[in-house]
Amino acid sequence: MMRTLGLLHFVSVAALGAASMTGALPAAAQDSGTLDKKAAEKVFPAKKPYSPAAGRNFPTRPLFGDTHTHTSFSMDAGAFGARLGPREAYRLGKGEEVMASSGQLVKLSRPLDFLVVTDHSDNMGFFPDLLAGKPTLVADPLGRKWYDMIQSGKGAEAAVDIITSFGAGKFKGPILYSPDSAPYRSAWQETIDAAEEANEPGRFTAVIGYEWTSNTGGNNLHRNVLFRDNGDRAGQVVPYTVLPPGSDNPRDLWKWMSAYEEKTGGDVLAIAHNGNLSNGIMFPMVEPGVNKAIDREYAETRARWERLYEATQIKGDGETHPLLSPNDEFANFERWDKGNLDLTVVKTPDMLEFEYARSALKNGLKLEKELGINPYKFGMIGSTDAHTGLAAVEEDNFFGKTSSSEPSAGRATHPFIKTEKATIMGWEQTSSGYAAVWATENTRHAIFDAMERRETYATTGPRMLVRLFGGFDFVAADADTRSPALAGYTKGVPMGGDLTAAPEGKAPTFLVAALKDPVGANLDRYQIVKGWLDGTGKVQEKVYDVAWSGDRKPGADGKVPSVGSTVDVADATWTNTIGAPELVAIWTDPEFDPTQRAFYYGRVLEIPTPRWTAYDAKYFGVKMPPEATMEMQERAYTSPIWYTPAG
């Protein structure tokens, strides 16, 4: 489906003024000095406006933000040591300097454009009462246990036990805060109030949201729920919980979302949590809990409510895995593949296919052919999942997953999670990521609408500008203009869009463009990742290098050689003497079959830069373990463009 700009046609003000003086313009066009476009067009022939931007109605810059931040209102974050609430989280997001829970000053290098505080759906208001030693809580054996652990300086251990107990269904009696309880409702209202106070349309957007926290058996099926609406609507409900009277089944969350919209006339969407701690159930082919194949109702409902996927965050990257993409030399990136959320169940290779974005997108093609609808037709975003109230994930400004892992000399070498079955070390935390949204303005409505149409991309932290357009009529000259988006929106569809029924003899052509983060590293390459359903019903994938820096030449395998590295690990520095500040190109699929379903998404890689572990080693003067990763290639993933054959 092609999309056109529908540019407005204006004539110059000087010409209109002259016509008005001679009476050539109808009176309606002269009323109170207002120029009526239709009346003007009757007098003057339509022509392109002198001002190049006049009449443009497409987004011209991405907005960067975080859709997944926890504060002390989340019971696990509070136990880990978080003392900052939603108001402090928004202050940091807006560019203010705040005091972290660990007593350190922190400030972002640049303000964010938007932020969503997404405290856990279950037991809001519980932790402040536990910390204060509320009699009904400390009278409960589990409540007393956690209270004593926190008071003795073992908050991190208490937090892990809280998470494990929650997943095992042990929250009962006084330690279970019902959504109807006064502390819960108070915490939710304070969350809404903080967002309303922080929201400044046009400058900074505070989106109201929460995280639905399905975690049965320690398998993470969390979703971040975002409201398009202001507090007058969001305040008519309380978050949908997992514990009674709620449910751990996503189907029931989707029913709650539908009921919210019917009750309030508002809009809501859900973002699937990074799936690599779900142990194979985030993107199922067989529905968890009921042991039956995904049916059309599930597919339709999921596609309706879950338009985005959190492809990268602090608990690892979720694009793909080396075992799933063995021919992708960049697949081995920031892996968290040891087990489920609380490491009570060890990961097995058969689980991986149903956890990562690329394999889910491929299986979505297969399900679409079988069911007529694709449940995994999602766009990409990144976010932090920080449990500190601090959306700070630049490599040299990384404040950790939890307050117990805020900057310190030993945070990298101390176990982050440790059980008898597996251990995740502190250095394995990923300093990632942010959501980039191509919204027409910085408001709740515009950001939400861009998310719904999937015009988004994920970044591991850098604020690089990335475009992807698909169509059938792009030509080489479209990559030479300084406004590639003009050709992109006029001739094709943006990331998140659809192409159907290729014209006879034509293959999908893509206009790709990337501009480096103004204060970040140069770019190495722009790749297009293609997935398709072949004639035998099997899913396939291939990664193409389509634009790259320097005069490197692809090898016999079509792959461009490494860009090299300028990283000085000991000094935690690099130089922009390699790479390119921008990459723009036109690429046509050389292996296109018009009868096969396919998707295409962009992956943009920076040149190598120091990882947060290198910055810590230098700042604290400590030695990292030999297995710790010390440099990396930051990246971005665009939402896909899907191709569907005719019929």
Tell me how far apart the alpha carbons of residues 283 and 339 are, in angstroms, rounded to a whole number.
Answer: 16
Contact yes or no for 179/185 (Cβ under 8 A) = yes
Q: Note the pLDDT of residue 373.
A: 97
Is the pLDDT reported for residue 20 higher than 70?
Answer: no
Is the pLDDT reported for residue 7 higher than 70?
Answer: no
Is the pLDDT reported for residue 573 higher than 90?
Answer: yes
Same-domain status, 401 and 474: no
Lowest mean pLDDT among 35-39, 411-415, 559-563: 35-39
Is 230 among the domain residues? Answer: yes
| Number of domains comprising the chain | 2
Beta bridge partners of 511: 469, 586
Is 207 among the domain residues? Answer: yes
- pLDDT-derived band at 43 (thresholds 50, 70, 90) equals low
Is 557 among the domain residues? Answer: yes
Give mean pLDDT, residues 214-221.
Answer: 91
- pLDDT-derived band at 32 (thresholds 50, 70, 90) equals very low
Q: Alpha-carbon Rg of the chain, whole angstroms?
A: 26
Q: Note the pLDDT of residue 106.
A: 98
Give mean pLDDT, residues 496-516.
Answer: 96
Is the pLDDT reported for residue 450 higher than 70?
Answer: yes
> Sign of torsion, CA 110 113 117 118?
negative
pLDDT digits (tens, 9 = 90+) for 263-315: 999 999 999 999 999 999 999 999 988 889 999 999 999 999 999 999 999 99
Q: Note the pLDDT of residue 21.
A: 33
Is the pLDDT reported for residue 338 higher than 50?
Answer: yes
Q: Amino acid identity of 417?
A: I
Tell me how far apart the alpha carbons of residues 352 and 99 are, in angstroms, rounded to a whole number.
Answer: 39
Within 158-204, strands assigned E span none
Q: What is the mean pLDDT of the chain?
A: 92
Same-domain status, 372 and 474: no
Same-domain status, 419 and 491: no
Say what percent of the chain tops pLDDT 90.
82
- The neighbour count for residue 568, using CB atoms within 10 Å, is 14
Tell me how far apart the alpha carbons of residues 259 and 261 are, in angstroms, rounded to a whole number.
Answer: 5
Q: Note the pLDDT of residue 156.
A: 84
Is the pLDDT reported for residue 350 higher than 60?
Answer: yes
CA distances from 627 to 228, 422, 429, 622 (A): 44, 16, 13, 15
Say what percent of the chain tops pLDDT 70.
93
Q: Note the pLDDT of residue 529.
A: 98
Same-domain status, 132 and 231: yes
Tell me how far apart the alpha carbons of residues 50 and 95 are, in angstroms, rounded to a whole number.
Answer: 37
Tell me how far apart the alpha carbons of residues 348 and 277 are, in angstroms, rounded to a whole number.
Answer: 12
Tell me how far apart the alpha carbons of residues 605 and 636 are, in angstroms, rounded to a whole number.
Answer: 7
Same-domain status, 380 and 256: yes
Give mean pLDDT, residues 8-12.
Answer: 29
Same-domain status, 396 and 490: no
Q: 277: part of which helix (H) or strand (E)?
A: none
Same-domain status, 156 and 250: yes
Give mean pLDDT, residues 560-577.
Answer: 98
Contacts of 444 (CB under 8 A, 6+ apart): 199, 201, 205, 207, 227, 228, 229, 230
Q: Note the pLDDT of residue 42.
A: 59
- Quote the Cα angle for 309-460-448, to 5°: 45
pLDDT digits (tens, 9 = 90+) for 372-385: 999 999 999 999 99
The gap from C-alpha 500 to its chain's centroid, in whole angstroms, comes to: 26
Is 53 among the domain residues? Answer: no
Q: Which residue has the higher pLDDT, 46 or 509?
A: 509
Tell me how far apart the alpha carbons of residues 430 and 415 are, in angstroms, rounded to a whole number.
Answer: 14
Is 98 among the domain residues? Answer: yes
Q: Which residue has the higher pLDDT, 365 or 32?
A: 365
Q: Note the pLDDT of residue 40.
A: 54
Contact yes or no for 189/181 (Cβ under 8 A) = no
Q: 307 — alpha (psi -120 to 50), left (phi > 0) or beta? A: alpha
Is 22 among the domain residues? Answer: no
pLDDT digits (tens, 9 = 90+) for 172-191: 888 999 999 999 999 999 99
Same-domain status, 408 and 546: no
Is 449 among the domain residues? Answer: no
Tell me how far apart the alpha carbons of residues 378 and 302 are, in angstroms, rounded to a whole number.
Answer: 10
Same-domain status, 112 and 237: yes
Is 626 among the domain residues? Answer: yes
Within 263-332, strands assigned E span 268-272, 286-287, 292-293, 308-313, 316-317
Same-domain status, 354 and 426: yes
Give the structural domain span for 611: 465-644
Q: Note the pLDDT of residue 56.
A: 85
Contacts of 345 (CB under 8 A, 6+ apart): 217, 218, 219, 279, 339, 421
Same-domain status, 566 and 433: no
Axis-axis angle for helices 182-198, 86-93 (nearest 10) = 20
Same-domain status, 425 and 554: no
Is the pLDDT reported for residue 37 higher than 60?
Answer: no
Q: What's the pTM?
A: 0.91
